[in-house]
Structure 1
Amino acid sequence: MNDGLALIFAFAAGMLLGCVFFGGLWWTIRKCVATPYPARWMLGSALARMSITLAGFYFVSAGQLKPLLACLVGFIAARLIVTRLTRPAIQVLAKTQETHHAT
């Protein structure tokens, strides 16, 4: 496989890993609000998300620095995307909490 294509693949894999990691974090936080055992959810989710992410970085990098860096850039880009996509839900939640405090 040519170097450019390998780096594009590594970037895309990093984006996928980032979406899984940060999307899973967002889902876990929303789940923890409604469960009587939030610590179990947070611990289990953190272990699962970190395991998936580290295994993904290990396999994508194949012991080389360039694919690892491309994967990391994709991971960070996915963080920005997931943060932007989940922001409206956070702002709506904050507005509803403010109205409850005012009453």
Structure 2
Amino acid sequence: MNTWDIILAGLGGIVLGTFYFTSLWITVQQLPTTLWPLRLTIGSLLGRMGIVLLGFYLIIDGEWQRALIGLVGFLVARTLLIRRWQPNNKIKFDL
């Protein structure tokens, strides 16, 4: 496995993570206005999971190292999107 494979696996994981969590965010935003929330939730889950599983299958290409690097990229995307969408209000707990 060379440097180019590592970079592609990491970027692929970031792209898949961004797709997955952005789609999840859009689904959650649409839930209050839809007439069929269960259909929207299950359909979105199946669509997101199908695309992400196919993407990881293509990234892995038979090497477990690529799976690990892709997973790290996926989690990096998750962390960055959580920080981006986090509300600005800080909750302060006084004891």
User: What amino acid sits opposite 1:30 in the alignment?
Assistant: Q
Counterparts of 1:33 and 1:10, CA distance in 2 = 36
Match of 1:97 in 2: none
Q: Which runs of 5+ in 1 are unaligned?
A: 92-103
Cα distance, 1:37 vs. partner?
A: 0.9
Q: Which amino acid in structure 2 is aligned with residue 41 of structure 1?
A: L
The whole-number CA distance in structure 1 between the counterparts of 2:60 and 2:7 is 12
Alpha-carbon distance in 2 for matches of 1:3, 1:38: 45
Q: Distance in 2 between matches of 1:42 and 1:15?
A: 23
Q: Which runs of 5+ in 2 are unaligned?
A: 90-95
- Partner residue, 1:16: 15
1:68 to partner: Cα distance:
0.8
Structure showing greater Rg: 1
- Once the two structures are TM-superposed, the CA of residue 21 in structure 1 deviates from its matched residue by 0.4
2: CA distance, partners of 1:84 / 1:41: 26
User: 1:58 — aligned with what?
Assistant: 57
1 or 2, which has the higher helix percentage? 1
Question: Could you tell me how far apart the structure 2 residues matched to 1:20 and 1:87 are?
Answer: 18
Structure-2 separation of matches of 1:31 and 1:87: 18
Amino acid at match of 1:3: N
Q: CA separation in 1, counterparts of 2:39 and 2:12?
A: 29
Given the two structures, how large is their TM-score scaled by the length of structure 2? 0.88
Number of corresponding residues: 89
CA distance in 1: counterparts of 2:34 and 2:61, whole angstroms: 39
After TM superposition, which residue ranges in structure 1, 4 or more long, deviate above 2 angstroms? Answer: none
Which position in structure 1 is the counterpart of 2:92? none
For residues 43-67 of structure 1, give each alpha carbon's deviation from its aligned partner in whole angstroms, at most 9, with x where no partner exists: 0000000001000000000010111
1: CA distance, partners of 2:14 / 2:32 = 27
Aligned to 2:32: 33
Q: What's the secondary structure of 2:74's corresponding residue?
A: helix
